[in-house]
Amino acid sequence: MGYKTIYFTNQTIFQFLVCFQCLFLCNYSSVSAQTDCKEAIKRAEQAYQEGLLNQVKNILSEECINQLTKKEDKTQAYYLIVLSNLYLNEKGDAKNAMLQLLSLEPEYMYEITSPIEFQKFYDTFKVKPTIVVGIKGGINMSQIQSLKAFSVDDTKNSNNGKYDSKIGIQLQIAAILPITNRIDIMAEIGYKRFGYQFSNKLFDFQSIKFVETQAFLEVPLMLKFNFGNNYNFKKNRKKFLNKLNPYIFAGASATYLLSSTAIATRIDTGGETPLTLESQSLDMKPQRNTLGYYGIGGLGVDYKSGRSFLTFEMRYHYGFQNIIKTDERYSNQQLPLTYGYVDSDIAFRNLTINVGYFYPFYKARQKN
């Protein structure tokens, strides 16, 4: 029994040592291969300098490039292959190598000292992204435009009340389609929530307050004009100011009303003891138009950070139509009879401030 135990233990140790040695050899082979390929880049650079262009392609085989772990090494290898094929007038192989280079690094930046043949060939490829997607969020403030006043008091004698804005929020998913280096199409879908407060004095002894909050689904479509260029991948973009892209935009949006709630308050001061009446949360959606239409204009700035870019913008929304359903103005009798409030015809104006994050997606291809 003791002999078998010792034999089993020795056999296990032997198998472990064999496995360890195999792993060590495999790892050593991998590291050795990577080292050889790094040396291959140096040999290829030397061959290129000596004009031995066919040797460059032989040295930098696809198998060798695949073993490289650093992106910088791979891009340098493809760069040398492109140059060699260009000088050998093998345009098909040069195109394939450039597509591999741009697939690996779509925002590849060549050196200013690169041969003019490479620069001209690079310019024949599409380097703008096919689409840029991102997310935006921020705050908004509403400005209420009174179109026609209604009141339980005489509107000719009253001051028609006062509208004050409330801080709201919005969140959007956005997509940008680059058309040229200067012009983009921006499309978004987002959630917006904003509110306002209406206050007024009635009959010289009453004051009323009406606070409404609305939530929308908003779909803007805009045209963006860039003063800078987010897709300039030349080496001179290292400076901070060269990474900034100011822009302006204009367009239109449609909104769909998700909810509208309000709280009405009436305070009577005519008696010895003031009387205060405050409502529960009221559903105002039946008395509001479901669809809204806005004109949009604004400005902003992008900051390029690596592949992605950050954005900051301000925009103004101009509402075109009355948000009140005129045929439902008096459908909630509780508002005028208990709280002394009647909807006036109003339109919304809205100022928004957004910050966002965007990431471009590329598909390397040569221009026609």
Is 318 part of any domain? yes
How far apart, in whole angstroms, are the C-alpha atoms of residue 58 and residue 61?
6
In the listed set 125, 156, 181, which residue is the last one of a domain according to the structure? 125
User: Are 163 and 307 members of one domain?
Assistant: yes
How far apart, in whole angstroms, are the C-alpha atoms of residue 48 and residue 79?
11
Is 11 part of any domain? no
User: Are 260 and 171 members of one domain?
Assistant: yes
User: How many domains does the structure of the chain reveal?
Assistant: 2
How far apart, in whole angstroms, are the C-alpha atoms of residue 43 and residue 47?
6
User: Are 239 and 319 members of one domain?
Assistant: yes
CA distances from 162 to 145, 192, 337 (A): 11, 23, 20
In the listed set 70, 95, 125, which residue is the last one of a domain according to the structure? 125
User: Are 64 and 107 members of one domain?
Assistant: yes
Instruction: Please give the helix or strand (H or E) that residue 131 lies within, else none.
Output: strand 131-148
pLDDT in tens, 6-17: 444 555 555 555
> What letter does residue 324 receive in the DSSP assignment?
B
pLDDT in tens, 117-164: 999 999 899 888 999 999 999 999 988 998 988 888 766 655 678 999
User: Are 228 and 146 members of one domain?
Assistant: yes
Is 1 part of any domain? no
pLDDT in tens, 266-296: 998 876 777 889 999 999 999 999 999 999 9
CA distances from 131 to 33, 174, 175, 176, 251 (A): 38, 10, 7, 6, 19
Is 291 part of any domain? yes
**This prediction's pTM:** 0.80
In the listed set 76, 104, 125, which residue is the last one of a domain according to the structure? 125
Is 103 part of any domain? yes
100: helix, strand or coil: helix
325-361 burial string, b = 16+ CB within 10 Å, else e?
beeebeebeebbeebbbbbbbbbbebbbbbebebebe
**What is the residue range of 117's domain?**
29-125
Kindly state the tokens that stand for 30. 């991998």
